[in-house]
């Protein structure tokens, strides 16, 4: 593998792409440490240090995707989360709105329009989220439950100062989106995925060192071994797929014969990826946010604060697991249409051996997809529960490095990027990473 890396850097074109990607990543990480104008940096750092000892709080998921920039209220505080949210919303609306579905089927031109809509929605969501975060920081609720001076985080709460903060954070999201597209066009891999990978992996060293400092070398070594085992498990499941054989009949067009080939439909065990975990986390985040912003002390607010804002509570863990399983089936149902696949196969003369074309093929695909989604959804739920178990066993923070969203993103993006580098090496007659 090290030889493959050396050969990758010896190839001028590939070396240029790798160095360009690394340069964009450096710029991205620099922006995650530049504070927003109008914020008391000293007070923020004191609250961040205190929050690391007591958990990530309500905004843990958003803070994870921003590489820790959210709680530090930097220009890249929102991270890539608005783009992820808008992409998911557009993907869901494609199933509901016929116009978007028609654009999806138009090929590259339609996909370009959908991408443009995604950008517009990203800007709108960034302004909305920036306004909410600035309001939360101004009220002191951003570090709720943390022993620090939250009143001095935003010293000047005038309209102009708040507007500058919102505009700066929203512009930061637009810059991140632009950086991601630059990587996609001129670098290696999918730009947005690379930036998410960078944000998540940036918190690994501090999280691991925090475990070593508070729990000692024995616990640190155990966590490393468990982390390596989890990486192996995630790689195994992410690569697992059910291959459904497809045979295409021969067709004579003029004097030429077309078809007669054999291929397969790859159905991944984890067809939904990390999306169900994001959906479940976001849904459980909403009740606590409502209570925080309302400041209510009614019995319902107390019950929500007690049971749905603390991940070490049994009800929170149970709801989290059930929601992940539900959203896994939900997302697979809207992202893979067996009837559409069966119709396309029938149109081009394809069939599954032993299965009649048309409706029986759609029913068979739906049956197989349901069967493999069950282990995939349970696997997602168990992986996502690892930080909650670590919270109880080690007293670790909610951003436990090996588990949940973190490990799924790091392994998934890492595998995809290595495959792209390997394919480019093989195009130049070099051996790839995977021999």
pTM (2 d.p.): 0.77
Digitized pLDDT (tens) for each residue of the chain, 435 residues in all: 566 667 777 777 888 888 898 999 999 888 888 888 888 777 777 777 766 554 444 455 566 666 666 677 788 888 888 888 888 888 878 878 888 888 877 777 888 888 889 899 999 988 988 888 888 777 766 666 666 666 677 777 788 888 888 899 899 999 999 998 899 888 888 888 888 888 888 777 777 777 777 777 887 787 788 778 888 888 888 888 888 888 877 766 666 666 567 888 888 888 888 788 878 877 777 777 677 667 677 788 778 777 777 666 778 888 888 988 998 898 888 888 888 888 888 887 788 888 888 888 889 999 999 999 999 889 888 888 776 666 556 555 544 556 667 788 888 888 888 888 877 777 766 555 555
> In this structure, are 68 and 86 located in the same domain?
yes
Does 209 lie in the same domain as 156? no
**198 and 256 share one domain:** no
- Does 133 share its domain with 104? yes
What local confidence, expressed as pLDDT, does residue 57 receive? 47
Is 117 domain-assigned?
yes
Handedness of CA 321, 72, 52, 157 (dihedral sign): negative
- Position 96 scores a pLDDT of 80
- Are 148 and 262 found together in one domain? no
Residue 420 lies in a domain: no
Shared-domain flag, residues 188 and 297 = no
pLDDT value at residue 56: 47
Q: Evaluate whether 162 touches 134 at the Cβ level (below 8 Å).
A: yes
Contacts of 304 (CB under 8 A, 6+ apart): 287, 288, 290, 291
Domain-terminating residue out of 168, 202, 236? 202
CB 317 within 8 A of CB 388: yes
Domain end marker among 172, 202, 232: 202
Residues 54, 130 within the same domain: yes
- CB atoms under 10 Å from CB of 239, counted, come to 12
Determine the structural domain holding residue 51 and report its residue range.
1-202
Name the 3-class secondary structure at 248: strand
Are residues 210 and 177 part of one domain? Answer: no
DSSP state of 105: T
Structurally, the chain folds into a number of domains equal to 2
**Distance from the Cα of residue 414 to its chain's centroid:** 13
Query: Is the Cβ–Cβ distance between 31 and 76 less than 8 Å?
Result: yes
Instruction: Write b or e for each residue in 88-98: b if 16 or more Cβ atoms lie within 10 A of its Cβ, otherwise e.
Output: bebbeebeeee
Tokens representing 74 are 């930097």
Residues 6+ apart with CB under 8 A from 397: 52, 53, 54, 55, 56, 207, 210, 391
Q: Is 259 domain-assigned?
A: yes
For residue 414, tell me if it sits in a domain.
no
Same domain, 325 and 234: yes
CATH number at residue 215: 1.10.3370.10
Residue 410 lies in a domain: no
Q: Which of 177, 202, 227 is the last residue of a domain?
A: 202
In a shared domain, residues 342 and 394: yes
198/334 same-domain check: no
44 and 184 fall within a common domain:
yes
Per the domain annotation, does 89 fall within a domain? yes
Question: Is residue 423, in this structure, part of any structural domain at all?
Answer: no
């Amino acid at each position: 593998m090290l030889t493959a890396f050396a050969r990758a850097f010896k190839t001028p074109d590939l070396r240029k792409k790798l160095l360009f990607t690394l340069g964009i990543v450096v710029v991205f990480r620099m922006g995650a440490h530049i504070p927003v104008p109008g914020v008391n940096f000293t007070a923020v750092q004191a609250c961040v240090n205190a929050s690391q000892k007591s958990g990530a709080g309500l905004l843990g998921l958003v803070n994870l995707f921003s590489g820790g920039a959210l709680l530090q209220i930097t220009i890249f505080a929102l991270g890539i989360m608005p783009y992820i949210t808008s992409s998911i919303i557009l993907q869901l609306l494609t199933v509901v709105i016929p116009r978007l579905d028609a654009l999806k089927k138009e090929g590259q031109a339609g996909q370009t329009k959908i991408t443009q809509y995604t950008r517009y929605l990203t800007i709108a969501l960034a302004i909305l989220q920036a306004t909410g975060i600035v309001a939360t920081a101004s009220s002191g609720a951003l570090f709720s439950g943390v022993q620090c001076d939250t009143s001095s985080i935003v010293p000047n709460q005038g309209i102009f100062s708040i507007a500058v903060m919102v505009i700066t954070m929203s512009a930061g999201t637009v810059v991140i989106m632009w950086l991601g597209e630059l990587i996609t066009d001129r670098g290696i891999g999918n730009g947005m995925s690379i930036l998410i990978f960078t944000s998540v992996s940036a918190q690994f060293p501090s999280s691991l060192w925090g475990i070593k400092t508070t729990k000692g070398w024995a616990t640190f070594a155990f966590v490393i071994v468990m982390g390596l085992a989890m990486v192996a498990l995630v790689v195994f499941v992410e690569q697992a797929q059910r291959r459904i054989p497809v045979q295409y009949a021969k067709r004579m067009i003029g004097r030429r014969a077309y078809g007669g080939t054999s291929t397969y439909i790859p159905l991944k065990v984890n067809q939904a990826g990390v999306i169900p975990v994001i959906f479940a986390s976001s849904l459980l985040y909403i009740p606590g946010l409502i209570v925080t912003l309302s400041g209510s002390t009614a019995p319902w607010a107390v019950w929500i604060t007690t049971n749905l804002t603390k991940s070490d509570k049994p009800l929170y863990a149970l709801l989290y697991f059930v929601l992940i399983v539900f959203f896994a089936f939900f997302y697979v149902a809207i992202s893979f249409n067996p009837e559409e696949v069966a119709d396309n196969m029938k149109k081009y003369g394809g069939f599954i051996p032993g299965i009649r074309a048309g409706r029986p093929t759609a029913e068979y695909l739906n049956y197989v997809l349901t069967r493999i989604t069950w282990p995939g959804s349970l696997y997602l739920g168990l992986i996502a529960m690892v930080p909650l178990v670590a919270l109880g066993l080690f007293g670790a923070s909610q951003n436990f490095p090996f588990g949940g969203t973190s490990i799924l993103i790091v392994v998934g993006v890492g595998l995809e990027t290595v495959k792209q580098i390997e394919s480019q090496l093989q195009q130049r007659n070099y051996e790839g990473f995977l021999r």
